[in-house]
């Protein structure tokens, strides 16, 4: 099966500019996650969608970050305006998350990420 797709792979912007990232999850996966991974650290969850609803956005800096998942498939993450400290890799992940049959379906599969550099 095809994996999680993200674009662009790299983006360089100046502070105070805006930027948007796109994610296409694995087909049929109900849950989509956006993570921020700063160099040398583990991924930190920014926002989690189940279908097209937000499950958890408690760690999303809502004054500058926004995300949407229209129609419960693709998602976009936007930063406006960007700050120097936003330089990081933004990872999208998805999981199936349907319960039944004794099969665990909550494994998260990651996309390749978008490396953002804010100058």
Q: Given the rule CB under 8 A, which residues bind other proteins?
A: 4, 31, 33, 40-45, 48, 50, 55-56, 91, 95, 97, 104, 106-113
CB of 84 to other proteins, least distance (A): 21
- CA pair distance 22, 69, nearest whole angstrom: 10
| Euclidean distance between CA atoms 101 and 3, whole angstroms | 24
Task: Give CA 66 to chain center in angstroms.
Answer: 11
Nearest distance from residue 78's CB to other proteins, in Å?
21
Minimum CB separation from other proteins for residue 33, in Å? Answer: 8
Query: Among residues 17 and 108, whose Cβ is nearest to other proteins?
Result: 108
Minimum CB distance to other proteins smaller for 7 or for 17? 7
Based on CB atoms, which residue is closest to other proteins, 18 or 104? 104
Q: How far is the CB of 41 from other proteins (least distance, A)?
A: 6
The 3-state DSSP class for residue 115 equals strand
3-state secondary structure 37-87: ECCCCCCEEEEEEECCEEEECCCCCCCCEEEECHHHCCEEEEECCCCHHHC
């Amino acid at each position: 099966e095809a994996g999680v797709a993200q674009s662009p792979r790299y983006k360089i912007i100046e502070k105070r500019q805006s930027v948007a990232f796109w994610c296409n999850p694995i087909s049929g996966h109900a849950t989509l996650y956006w993570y921020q991974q700063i160099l040398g650290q583990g991924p930190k969850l920014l926002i989690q969608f189940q279908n097209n609803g937000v499950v958890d956005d408690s760690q999303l800096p809502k004054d500058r970050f926004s995300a949407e998942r229209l129609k419960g498939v693709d998602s976009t993450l936007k930063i406006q305006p960007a700050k120097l400290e936003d330089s990081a890799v933004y990872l999208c992940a998805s999981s199936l998350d349907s319960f039944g049959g004794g099969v665990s379906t909550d494994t998260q599969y990651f996309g390749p990420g978008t490396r953002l550099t804010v100058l």
